[in-house]
Amino acid sequence: MNSIFSIFITGLAAMCFASDSWALSSTSIETNAVKLTNAPSWLTENRVERVTAKLQDTLEWDIRKISVTFVASQTEFDAHHKLGPGVLAFTRKREKTIELGPRVINDNFDAVFGHELAHIIIGQKYTTDIPEWLEEGLCNWAAAWRTGSAKSKNPTIDYSWLSKQTYRPVAGLVHPFRTLSAGNEISDPVKYHYMASTALAEMLDKQCGMHQLLQLALKKGVTKYLSQFCEISDIDQSLKKWIAKKKP
């Protein structure tokens, strides 16, 4: 259970409630990084290569080959991850597999697939060096903001909404499925988690430089690096200020 990393509908909602589902073509796509089975007809090898290349470039890593499966049946997909409704896709880092459910469509493929690839890279490259509270936001940052073409509707952070929610400490921003039932004071805990973790990643990138942070964090540890080089000694205070500053 702990090794499963998933992406939820919230935050990608605009893209994911679209009703155009894909027809099975039972096509396989194989690249250096992925072997993808049951590929829908709209998916091309070029697109898989493009998303993979951008994630590998952003996180500076060549993926050791993984298996990716499209699962056409929602019931079958839900039975595989057992994380409840709303899950679009999930990654098993240890097994090096990604499953994409039937709500992964032409419009959201880049963001969802990119997010899951980021989990894979974090597992292969950093093993346990990235703190859990940073991983989800880092995946969103790497995928949503670095793989978008002009056409793709990338998820964005609703700072206005975020600023109205009761603040929850960064330490609690571990993977969403663990916080699904928590926080009555928050109207949508999953949305909060998605937005707050992505806001955190955006703040760290702007104030610290994500690339440098990732490079040096391996040697020094993220928390130590933040206080020594980025003047972030209290990450919660910094994030609160950032959200207040960013809200329109």
Q: How far is Cα 119 from Cα 139, in angstroms, rounded to an integer?
A: 6
Helix extents (H) in 4-127: 13-16, 45-58, 74-81, 109-121
Interaction mask 6-25, Zn ion, x per CB under 5 A: -x------------------
Q: How far is the CB of 104 from Zn ion (least distance, A)?
A: 13
Q: How far is the CB of 199 from Zn ion (least distance, A)?
A: 16
| Near Zn ion in 186-225, by CB under 5 A | none
The one-letter code for the residue type at 248 is P
Distant-in-sequence, close-in-space partners of 193: CB < 8 Å, separation ≥ 6: 136, 173, 176, 179
Number of residues that bind Zn ion (CB under 5 A): 3
| Residue 183 phi, psi dihedral angles, 5° rounding | 80, 75
Q: Are strands 97-100 and 87-92 parallel, antiparallel or unpaired?
A: antiparallel
Please name the helix (run of DSSP H) or strand (run of DSSP E) that holds residue 104, with its range, or none: none
* Cβ(106)–Cβ(47) below 8 Å: no
Interaction mask 89-128, Zn ion, x per CB under 5 A: ----------------------------------------
Name which of 5 and 242 has its Cβ closer to Zn ion: 5
C-alpha of 151 from chain center: 20
Stretch that binds Zn ion, among 1-9, 10-18, 26-34, 36-44 (CB under 5 A): 1-9
Task: Say whether residue 5 binds Zn ion (CB under 5 A).
Answer: yes
Task: Say whether residue 133 binds Zn ion (CB under 5 A).
Answer: no
Q: How far is the CB of 248 from Zn ion (least distance, A)?
A: 27
Distant-in-sequence, close-in-space partners of 61: CB < 8 Å, separation ≥ 6: 121, 124, 125
Q: How far is the CB of 27 from Zn ion (least distance, A)?
A: 26
Among candidates 216, 132, 221, which has minimal Cα distance to 169?
132
Name which of 178 and 246 has its Cβ closer to Zn ion: 178
Query: 127: which 2 tokens?
Result: 């093993």
Q: How far is the CB of 5 from Zn ion (least distance, A)?
A: 4
Name which of 91 and 238 has its Cβ closer to Zn ion: 91
Stretch that binds Zn ion, among 2-10, 28-36, 44-52, 96-104 (CB under 5 A): 2-10
Name which of 87 and 203 has its Cβ closer to Zn ion: 87
Q: What angle do CA 116, 201, 111 make, to 5 degrees?
A: 30
| Near Zn ion in 139-178, by CB under 5 A | 139
Q: How far is the CB of 230 from Zn ion (least distance, A)?
A: 24
Four-residue CA torsion sign, 11, 119, 217, 33: negative
Stretch that binds Zn ion, among 134-142, 156-164, 177-185, 223-231 (CB under 5 A): 134-142
Binding site for Zn ion (CB under 5 A): 5, 7, 139
